[in-house]
Amino acid sequence: MLKVAVVETKEIAKEVIYDLQDVLTDYDWKFCCYASVSQFVNQENPHTIDILVLPKRYNRQRVYHALIEPYPNMVVICTCENTEDGMIDQILYINIDQIEKELHKNKGEILKRLKGRDTLFFQYNQVKVPLKIMDIIYLEKEDKLVVYHTRRGVFKERGSIYEKADVLAAYDFIRIHNSLVVNMNSIAYVDGEMVVLIDQTRLPISRSRRSEVIDKLKKHAM
């Protein structure tokens, strides 16, 4: 179930929640409202939030680094006046006088980003373990095992990396090598024959895939 946190006045919160119903028709979701960012931080773990709604005035550097930057797959909606910013990175700026129109216009992008919150199940020590797709950084083939490098640690299971690549392709994962499948949201840049991740991990790109990788990364960044 998706969780929506709204840091806004009662009037704007009511309108946002009402209009989100048309965006999240295929999801079960719930919401909580807060009068301030401090109240939100004191009562919630941001890691559990799928959509965060807050006024643009809170999008200051300190708030950004504490509540937004560490959670790249969280959808952040900033309400403001007379804006034409639209979606920038993970933040959607919407005009408080056109909430319904702007949420509808950006519905596709919102749903695309929410896909990363879906869950993948894998076998670990003979136990089926749920793992949010957004927490997977990359997959690596190791003999007959698939190694999951994630924000929760490293996990292994017997399986085919080719099958996993097919499943994860819909979630912005890309094969950069026969033995490597990478979450494009975790890639910082390409350096020659290497992909450099946000955490500065360097992974090799096979020569036959380099052009495809660069093209897909460009499209992903658009």
Name the pTM for this structure. Answer: 0.62
- Among 63, 96, 115, where does a domain finish? 115
**Residue 42 sits in the same domain as residue 131:** no
Q: Helices (DSSP H) in 132-207: which residue ranges?
A: 161-168
Full domain range(s) for residue 77? 2-115
pLDDT tens-digit profile, the chain (222 residues): 889 999 999 999 999 999 999 999 988 899 999 999 999 989 988 888 999 999 987 767 788 888 888 877 788 999 988 665 666 667 888 998 999 999 999 898 888 778 767 788 877 777 888 888 888 999 999 999 999 999 889 999 999 999 999 989 988 899 999 999 999 989 999 999 999 999 999 999 999 999 999 999 988 876
**Residue 139 sits in the same domain as residue 156:** yes
- Token reading at 5: 């946190």
- Among 115, 136, 166, where does a domain finish? 115
- Among 54, 84, 115, where does a domain finish? 115
**Residue 104 sits in the same domain as residue 6:** yes
What's the confidence (pLDDT) of residue 54? 92
d(CA 176, CA 162): 12
Overall number of domains in the chain? 2
Contact 4, 29 (CB under 8 A): yes
Residues pairing with 130 in the sheet: 121
**Residue 47 sits in the same domain as residue 144:** no
- Token reading at 88: 């920038």
- Token reading at 82: 């007379």
CATH of the domain at 47: 3.40.50.2300
**Residue 142 sits in the same domain as residue 103:** no
**Residue 27 sits in the same domain as residue 82:** yes
CA dihedral 67, 51, 116, 152 (to 10 degrees): 40
**Residue 24 sits in the same domain as residue 63:** yes
CATH of the domain at 153: 2.40.50.1020
**Residue 50 sits in the same domain as residue 108:** yes
Buried b (16+ CB within 10 A) or exposed e, 79-91: beeeeeeebeebb
- Token reading at 133: 């797709």
**Residue 94 sits in the same domain as residue 140:** no
**Residue 157 sits in the same domain as residue 142:** yes
**Residue 126 sits in the same domain as residue 99:** no
**Residue 109 sits in the same domain as residue 138:** no
